Amino acid sequence: MADFTRALLDRPAVLAASTVALAYLDDAVAAATRLSDRTDTEALHDFRVAIRRLRVTVRTYPGLHESVTRKQRRRLRRLVRSTNPARDAEVQLAWFVERSPRFSTSERAGLGALRARLRARRRRVMAATREELQERFEKVERTLRRRLTTLQPDAGSREAPFRAVAAATLVQHATDLAGRLSEASPSADPAELHATRIAAKRLRYLLEPVQSGLPDGATLVRRLKDLQDLFGALTDAHELEVVLREAGAGAAPAANLLQAEVAALLVKLRDEWSTAGPDLERQIAVAARQLRPASKAHRPPARRRRLRGAVVRDLTGG
């Protein structure tokens, strides 16, 4: 993952934002080269995360949003969406592996056919998308890199510093997330829960490049990651629930376990996060104030300073 220093905060906003975007593009390139390695179980995840971070950056910051065309942004979105089936299969297989000790020998045997279908599905979709994904990404990457690189020489020193633009952006996205959290409940529609997850993810991705300049930056990022993981677990459970329902009675042990886990997640949502929006919004507001440039002390006009100096000299006999 790209690492950013405090020096980034005082650079012109467009220059800094393009630096962040290029770093995420480099992360995506590195992950894409690993996709052909069938033993690399993290390559797909790393590629998806890098592209999502890149998308959030280019769609959020002025200068980048105008420079990267809507067509290019749509292509990035389609790249991620094309990997959804493989990602879902990976997550669902991991769910079974992690919980295998909780099933009896006979239950594991009964679930074996479903697990085999999931493995076959993952191999099939990865084989179908791996080569095409890399080819499509190479084309998008060349265009994006050219656009992002040409932005850098044009960023003027009079432009607002990145810290000021980032502060305003964080406040805006925190307000959106707080509003969504206030409406999140165990009875919420899965699509609404997913939208809240996306809002938490975007805020986290915007916070990460500036966290080095915040006393509690790392803590805030971890809190947003916890929130994202909770809503992600609920979204993944909804997808797995569909798979188990289609599998029929043989998947009943897994369906019962999943139902118990979802109930526990919904309790956690109610107890820990349903009223956390205002507090999270306040924390982001504090972080934004810490990021904003310190206001310069007011200096009187030069003519007034000269008159004041003359009065002082007259009074002191100077």
pLDDT for 302: 52
Query: Looking at 63-77, 115-129, 284-298, which range is the least confident one?
Result: 284-298
pLDDT category of residue 313 using cuts at 50, 70 and 90: very low
pLDDT category of residue 63 using cuts at 50, 70 and 90: confident
pLDDT for 307: 43
Q: With beta carbons less than 8 A apart as the criterion, state whether 237 and 92 touch.
A: no
pLDDT for 107: 94
pLDDT at residue 69 above 80? yes
User: Which one is predicted more confidently, 153 or 144?
Assistant: 144
pLDDT for 298: 44
Average pLDDT over residues 135-145: 92
- C-alpha to C-alpha distances, 81 to 21, 51, 222, 240, 247, nearest whole angstrom: 20, 11, 26, 18, 25
The partner residues of 12 in beta bridges, in order of sequence, read 161
pLDDT category of residue 204 using cuts at 50, 70 and 90: very high
pLDDT at residue 309 above 60? no
pLDDT for 304: 47
pLDDT for 65: 85
Average pLDDT over residues 278-297: 86
d(CA 199, CA 177) in angstroms, rounded, equals 6
| Portion of the chain with pLDDT greater than 70, in percent | 90
pLDDT for 38: 81
d(CA 182, CA 172) in angstroms, rounded, equals 16
What angle (nearest 5°) sits at the alpha carbon of residue 152, between those of residues 151 and 154? 70
**In this structure, how many other beta carbons lie within 10 angstroms of the beta carbon of residue 189?**
8
How much is the mean pLDDT over the chain? 88
Average pLDDT over residues 69-94: 91
pLDDT at residue 230 above 80? yes
d(CA 199, CA 277) in angstroms, rounded, equals 12
pLDDT digits (tens, 9 = 90+) for 149-183: 987 545 455 678 999 999 999 999 999 999 999 88
DSSP 53-98: HHHHHHHHSTTHHHHS-HHHHHHHHHHHHHTHHHHHHHHHHHHHHH
pLDDT digits (tens, 9 = 90+) for 231-275: 999 999 999 999 999 999 999 999 999 999 999 999 999 898 888
- Tell me the three state secondary structure of residue 138: helix
| Portion of the chain with pLDDT greater than 90, in percent | 66
pLDDT at residue 315 above 60? no
